[in-house]
C-alpha cells in the first residue's frame, strides 16, 4: 500500500476566497464557528470575501491558514484518505500538529494567533528576500562573504533560498548575488523571520507553548527543527518552541520523506507551492494538490 504524507503550507498561501468551495460543508462548518469565536472577529468572512491587505496581516493570515489547512485535512479524512505522516512549512508545522492531534483545534487557533501577533510586533526593521537561480550551497557561501548578519531563512529547493536580515545588508547581499546570476525578489512580510532577530518573540511564544498540553501525535510529525519524524508530544512542543529562529530546511524535509518511504504527497492548502517545490526535490514521488484528490 502506498505511503501518504500530508503537506501543510505556511504564510503566503493565504488568499481571499480560500476555502470558498467547501466553507458551507457541514463536515467543517464547526471549525469556522470555533475560529470566529476564538478570534473575536468574523475570520470566515475575511477568508472568503475580505480585503487582501487585511488577510495578509501576519496576525490574521496565520490563523486563516491554520483554519483552512485543518478544514482541508478533515475533508481528506472524510474521503478516506489518511496520512502516514505529516509535515508543514514554517507556520504549516502548527497545522500539521493540529491535524495529528497534538493540540485541539481551538488551542491551535489561539497558538497561531499568538505567534502571528508576536511576529507582527517584533521591534526589528528587516525583511526577507527570495533568491532564485543559483545552487543553494553556492548561494549560501556567497552570502557569508558579504555580511554575516544576513542569514538563510528557508531552503526551499536546490535553486531557491529565502534570506532574512536588515534591509541594508540584504540589499548588499542581493546586489552581489545578482552579479553571480541570481534573481532576488523581496517578500511581503513584516520582519526577518526564521532568523536570530526573532529571539525575543520566540522566547515569548515558548512561554505560551509551555502552558499547553501536547498529546502524542496520531501519526509521525516531521519537526522543522530536528528534521526527523517525531512521535512524542512533549518533545514536539519543545522543538516547536525553537522554530522561530531556526531555518526552514524544506529540501532536507522532503528528502526525509523519501527515506521514510513516502510514495504520495498531498498538499492541504489552497495552492500548489509545496507541491511544486517537492517535485523539484524528489521527482519520483507522486505529488498532488488538495483539488486533485477532492
Cell, residue 138: 553556492
For the four alpha carbons of 65, 67, 72 and 77, in that order, the dihedral sign comes to positive
Cell, residue 201: 518573540
DSSP 8-class letter at 203: H
Active-site positions? 90, 194
Considering only the C-alpha atoms of the chain, give the largest distance between any 2 of them, rounded to a whole number of Å: 55
Question: What are the b/e assignments for 55-73, b being 16+ CB within 10 Å?
Answer: bbbbbbbbbbbbbbbbbbb
Cell, residue 269: 492548502
Is 276 in a helix, a strand, or coil? helix
d(CA 49, CA 15): 10
Backbone angles phi, psi at 276, to 5 degrees: -65, -40
- Exposed (0-12), middle (13-18) or buried (19+): which is 123, by Cβ within 10 Å? exposed
Write out the H or E segment, with its range, that includes residue 139: helix 136-146
- Go through the chain and tell me how many residues it has: 294
Count other Cβ atoms within 10 Å, centred on residue 35: 26
Q: Are 90 and 187 in contact (CB under 8 A)?
A: no
Backbone angles phi, psi at 49, to 5 degrees: -145, 25
Is 126 in a helix, a strand, or coil? strand
Amino acid at each position: 500500500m502506498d505511503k501518504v504524507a500530508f503537506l501543510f503550507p505556511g504564510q503566503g498561501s493565504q488568499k481571499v476566497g480560500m476555502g470558498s468551495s467547501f466553507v458551507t460543508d457541514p463536515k467543517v462548518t464547526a471549525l469556522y464557528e470555533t475560529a470566529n469565536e476564538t478570534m473575536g472577529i468574523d475570520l470566515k468572512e475575511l477568508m472568503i470575501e475580505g480585503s487582501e491587505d487585511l488577510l495578509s496581516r501576519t496576525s490574521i493570515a496565520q490563523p486563516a491558514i491554520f483554519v483552512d489547512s485543518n478544514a482541508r485535512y478533515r475533508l481528506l479524512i472524510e474521503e478516506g484518505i489518511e496520512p502516514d505522516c505529516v509535515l508543514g512549512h514554517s507556520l504549516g508545522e502548527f497545522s500539521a500538529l493540529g491535524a495529528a492531534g497534538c493540540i485541539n483545534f481551538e488551542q491551535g487557533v489561539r497558538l497561531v494567533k499568538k505567534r502571528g501577533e508576536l511576529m507582527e510586533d517584533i521591534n526589528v526593521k528587516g525583511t526577507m528576500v527570495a533568491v532564485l537561480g543559483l545552487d543553494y550551497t553556492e548561494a549560501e557561501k556567497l552570502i557569508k562573504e558579504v555580511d554575516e548578519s544576513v542569514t538563510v531563512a528557508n531552503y526551499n529547493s536546490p535553486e531557491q533560498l529565502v534570506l532574512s536580515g536588515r534591509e541594508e545588508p540584504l540589499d548588499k547581499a542581493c546586489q552581489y548575488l545578482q552579479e553571480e546570476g541570481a534573481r532576488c525578489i523581496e517578500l511581503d512580510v513584516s520582519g526577518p523571520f526564521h532568523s536570530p532577530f526573532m529571539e525575543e518573540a520566540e522566547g515569548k511564544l515558548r512561554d505560551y507553548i509551555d502552558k499547553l498540553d501536547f498529546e502524542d501525535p496520531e501519526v509521525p510529525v516531521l519537526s522543522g527543527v530536528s528534521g526527523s519524524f517525531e512521535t512524542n508530544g512533549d518533545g514536539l512542543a519543545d522543538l516547536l518552541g525553537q522554530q522561530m529562529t531556526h531555518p526552514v530546511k524544506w529540501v532536507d524535509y522532503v528528502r526525509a520523506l523519501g527515506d521514510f518511504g513516502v510514495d504520495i504527497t498531498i498538499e492541504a492548502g489552497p495552492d500548489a507551492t509545496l507541491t511544486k517545490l517537492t517535485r523539484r526535490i524528489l521527482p519520483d514521488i507522486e505529488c498532488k494538490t488538495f483539488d486533485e484528490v477532492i
